[in-house]
């Protein structure tokens, strides 16, 4: 924890280079790039996992289903700081998973960009599961039965029928999760701290700017970027799911 | 040949069904909604696992609880036409049709894409999406899709139930064509006796999860089990005969039935074709004298074989007309006035316009 706070302070001491009020400084660009990168990677990790979990929750009955359901949605209701703390406990250098990852694969998660990706992935996971699940619940399981009688095995059925029909939900969920991932704050700062260029994403940069004397212009620019990205994400997600659903002709099926 | 002897408990409902159907030809599962018809075909298709019993097609065992055999649905090679068509909404009609065909590479390809498309009149629909199709079109595509998977048995679960009367009439000839063109065994689930009459050879009457009666259409049309389901108003003996040709004066078709000739309305008949007609008991009139001076075109001479009370005020009079038997519903009053009795010679009268003949080219019955 001492490294954590010293890191935080040292980065604050760096302060912000004065820049043209309309243009982003190098640090701000860095934060934006890092945010996009982190959100994208966490999205890529989440896609298959969230799809699989949503499918399990909707189409399968098994012991522990309610528990899986609860776990998948937990980050939605827990304080993000708590999620970050739990990640620290589990994935920290001496945590049960983190220690193992370090020993076996040499993967460090704490204070790294990879750790940032993990924190964002965990936080946005429920958003994706929910969106995919909603679509899947709307897909008639009878279509999969029909595919069975036409000779399609389980994997074949999933890829030829279920997945294409889930696509609107998956894409909508992905865009929402990506937009939310850009702005994830609490879990990130708790788990991987606030290191410029490594873990300082947009919201962390915004927070830092607010804590810095004369950081107002920076904060304003970062706020506008964050706001715009979030809004575009939401609109895009809505538009995507509507367009896709229409193209798939799902409404009348 | 399909042989099924299966049992399934679902909550309070026990479905226990055993029947064999000869192939090729159509076996109808007939009964009210909720009598276990769909449960039965689900078990045959492999979509529902029976608690006990066995299912075989010819020498292939698809399910045998005792021997622990349960071939998965996707490997059974049984086509299924669902009541709600279940077309894949994200695929065009062509890709829906090809879906099963592509996955049937290991089966002998007896049913060709072009033949199926032609028989079902799908050529104009191929590029379209299911969402833009009418109910009848959707069912035709669903039938074509099931056929192209090259099944060894086709299950049709009330394929007409979701259609209105006119669409139903449009689709029935396609089903007759299916039966006559492809020598494919079919199990046809229905609660409309008219469909059974037109399509089926063998009928399994189901009531409350059990087989109440089974036999050919002619025999089943006399069955008390059937009467319990369709009600006395829709009760009527089915007779089979051979088309003789059009009557020059009336334009009606002559059908040789037993010792007599029946004049019916029917289209596109060729002499010698086998016909099936249902004569509703309430439409028939009995006469104890040879009729003279009546507008009725059909009079069939016969002998009363049985009198059966049908409620407090009516009787069912079973009459043998030289082989085939008819059922006539008369009031108690009429029975007394005519002093009807077993062994009596009578004439059965029926208006030609109340009859419609159906060409039936399946295996002979009756």
Token pair of B61 as six digits: 């065992």
For residue A156, name the pLDDT band (cuts at 50, 70, 90): very high
In this model, does residue A253 exceed pLDDT 50? no
Question: What's CA A233's distance to the chain center, in Å?
Answer: 13
Spell out the residues 6+ positions from residue B204 whose beta carbon is closer than 8 angstroms to its own. Answer: B17, B19, B27, B28, B29, B30, B211, B214
Per CB-CB distance under 8 Å, the chain B contacts of A152 are 74, 99, 103
Q: What is the pLDDT of residues B205-259, one digit of tens each?
A: 999 999 999 999 999 999 989 988 988 888 899 998 888 888 777 778 888 888 8
Per CB-CB distance under 8 Å, the chain A contacts of B127 are none
How many Å lie between the alpha carbon of A246 and the closest alpha carbon of chain B? 10
Of B117, B180, B169, give the one whose Cα is nearest residue B143.
B117
Are B87 and A249 inside 8 Å of each other by CB? no
| Chain B positions touching chain A (beta carbons under 8 Å) | 45-47, 72-80, 82, 84, 86-90, 99-100, 103-104, 129-132, 145-146, 149
Are B89 and A151 inside 8 Å of each other by CB? no
Break chain A into its structural domains and give their ranges.
25-248
From-to residues of CATH 2.40.50.100 in chain B: 236-357
Using CB atoms, pick whichever of A147, A149, A161 lies closest to residue B45. A149
Which burial class, exposed, middle or buried, applies to A203 when counting CB atoms under 10 A from its CB (0-12, 13-18, 19+)? buried
Q: Give the position of tokens 């108690």.
A: B332
Q: What is the pLDDT of residues A194-251, one digit of tens each?
A: 888 888 988 998 998 899 888 888 899 889 988 998 898 888 888 887 887 777 654 4
Per CB-CB distance under 8 Å, the chain A contacts of B139 are none
- The domain made up of B236-357 is a member of CATH 2.40.50.100: yes
Are B146 and A149 inside 8 Å of each other by CB? yes
Span B277-286, average pLDDT: 90
Are A165 and B145 inside 8 Å of each other by CB? no
**ipTM score of complex:** 0.84
For an interface test with A, the pick among B39, B74, B138 (most A C-beta atoms closer than 10 Å) comes out as: B74
In this model, does residue B80 exceed pLDDT 50? yes
Which burial class, exposed, middle or buried, applies to B11 when counting CB atoms under 10 A from its CB (0-12, 13-18, 19+)? exposed
Per CB-CB distance under 8 Å, the chain A contacts of B130 are 249, 252-253
More confident residue, B183 or B41: B41
Please state, for a pLDDT cut of 70, what percent of chain B lies above it.
Answer: 98
Using CB atoms, pick whichever of B79, B88, B132 lies closest to residue A149. B79
Supply the CATH classification number for the domain A25-248: 1.10.3720.10
Are A151 and B132 inside 8 Å of each other by CB? no
Are B74 and A152 inside 8 Å of each other by CB? yes
Are B103 and A152 inside 8 Å of each other by CB? yes
CB contacts < 8 Å between A and B, how many?
A: 77
3-state secondary structure of B261: strand
Spatial contact of A178 and A192, defined as CB atoms under 8 Å apart: no
Are B104 and A251 inside 8 Å of each other by CB? no
For an interface test with A, the pick among B89, B99, B105 (most A C-beta atoms closer than 10 Å) comes out as: B89
For residue B361, name the pLDDT band (cuts at 50, 70, 90): low
What is this structure's pTM?
Answer: 0.82
Are A161 and B88 inside 8 Å of each other by CB? yes
For an interface test with B, the pick among A148, A151, A253 (most B C-beta atoms closer than 10 Å) comes out as: A151
DSSP state of B234: G
Cis amide linkage into residue B24, ω under 30° from 0: yes
For an interface test with B, the pick among A138, A140, A143, A146 (most B C-beta atoms closer than 10 Å) comes out as: A146
CATH number, domain B2-230, options 3.40.50.300, 3.20.20.140, 3.40.190.10, 3.40.190.80: 3.40.50.300
> Most distant CA pair in chain B: distance in Å?
70
pLDDT confidence of residue B353: 75
Q: What is the pLDDT of residues A57-84, one digit of tens each?
A: 998 888 999 999 999 999 999 999 999 9
CA angle A70, A71, A77 (to 5 degrees): 75
Of A211, A209, A237, give the one whose Cα is nearest residue A222.
A209
Q: What is the pLDDT of residues A31-47, one digit of tens each?
A: 889 999 999 999 999 99
Token pair of A114 as six digits: 């990879």
How many Å lie between the alpha carbon of A68 and the closest alpha carbon of chain B? 27
């Amino acid at each position: 924890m001492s490294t954590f706070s010293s890191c935080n302070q040292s980065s604050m001491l760096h302060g912000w280079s004065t820049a043209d009020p309309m243009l982003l400084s190098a640090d701000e660009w860095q934060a934006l790039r890092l945010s996009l990168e982190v959100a994208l990677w966490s999205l890529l990790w989440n896609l298959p996992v969230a799809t699989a979990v949503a499918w399990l929750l909707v189409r399968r009955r098994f012991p522990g289903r309610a528990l899986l359901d609860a776990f998948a949605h937990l980050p939605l209701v827990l304080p993000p700081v708590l999620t970050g703390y739990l990640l620290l406990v589990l994935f920290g250098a001496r945590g049960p998973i983190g220690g193992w990852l370090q020993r076996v694969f040499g993967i460090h998660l704490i204070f790294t960009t990879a750790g940032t990706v993990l924190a964002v992935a965990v936080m946005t996971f429920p958003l994706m599961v929910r969106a995919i699940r909603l679509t899947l619940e709307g897909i008639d399981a009878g279509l999969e039965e029909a595919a069975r009688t036409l000779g399609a095995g389980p994997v074949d059925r999933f890829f030829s029928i279920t997945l294409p029909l889930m696509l609107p939900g998956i894409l909508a969920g992905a865009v929402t999760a990506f937009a939310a991932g850009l702005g994830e704050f609490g879990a990130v700062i708790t788990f991987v701290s606030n290191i410029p260029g490594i873990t300082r994403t947009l919201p962390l940069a915004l927070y830092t700017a607010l804590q810095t004397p004369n950081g107002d212009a920076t904060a304003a620019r970062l706020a506008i970027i964050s706001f715009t990205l979030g809004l575009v994400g939401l609109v895009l997600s809505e538009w995507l799911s509507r367009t896709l659903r229409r193209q798939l002709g799902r409404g009348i099926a | 040949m399909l042989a099924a002897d299966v049992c399934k408990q679902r909550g309070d409902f026990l479905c226990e069904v055993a029947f064999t159907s000869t192939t090729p030809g159509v076996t109808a599962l007939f009964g009210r909604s909720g009598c276990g018809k769909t449960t039965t075909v689900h078990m045959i298709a492999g979509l529902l696992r029976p608690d006990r019993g066995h299912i075989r097609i010819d020498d292939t065992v698809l399910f045998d609880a005792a021997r622990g055999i349960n071939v998965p649905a996707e490997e059974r090679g049984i086509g299924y036409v669902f009541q709600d068509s279940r077309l894949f909404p994200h695929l065009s009609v062509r890709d829906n049709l090809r879906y099963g065909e592509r996955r049937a590479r290991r089966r002998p390809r007896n049913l060709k894409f072009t033949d199926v498309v032609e028989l079902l009149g799908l050529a104009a629909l191929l590029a379209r999406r299911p969402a833009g199709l009418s109910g009848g079109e959707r069912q035709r595509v669903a039938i074509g899709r099931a056929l192209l998977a090259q099944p060894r048995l086709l299950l049709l679960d009330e394929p007409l139930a979701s259609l209105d009367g006119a669409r139903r009439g449009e689709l029935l000839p396609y089903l007759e064509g299916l039966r006559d063109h492809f020598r494919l065994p079919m199990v046809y689930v229905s609660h409309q006796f008219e469909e059974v009459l037109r399509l089926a050879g063998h009928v399994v009457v189901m009531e409350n999860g059990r087989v109440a009666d089974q036999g050919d259409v002619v025999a089943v049309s006399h069955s008390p089990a059937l009467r319990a389901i369709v009600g006395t108003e829709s009760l009527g003996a089915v007779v089979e005969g051979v088309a003789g040709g059009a009557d020059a004066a009336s334009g009606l078709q002559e059908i040789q039935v037993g010792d007599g000739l029946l004049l019916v309305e029917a289209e596109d008949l060729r002499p010698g074709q086998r016909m099936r007609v249902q004569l509703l008991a309430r439409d028939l009139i009995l006469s104890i004298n040879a009729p003279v001076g009546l507008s009725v075109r059909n009079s069939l001479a016969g002998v009363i074989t049985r009198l059966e009370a049908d409620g407090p005020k009516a009787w069912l009079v079973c009459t043998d007309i030289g082989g085939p038997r008819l059922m006539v519903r008369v009031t108690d009053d009429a029975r007394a006035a005519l002093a009807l009795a077993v062994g009596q010679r009578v004439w059965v009268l029926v208006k030609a316009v109340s009859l419609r003949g159906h060409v039936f080219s399946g295996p002979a019955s009756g």
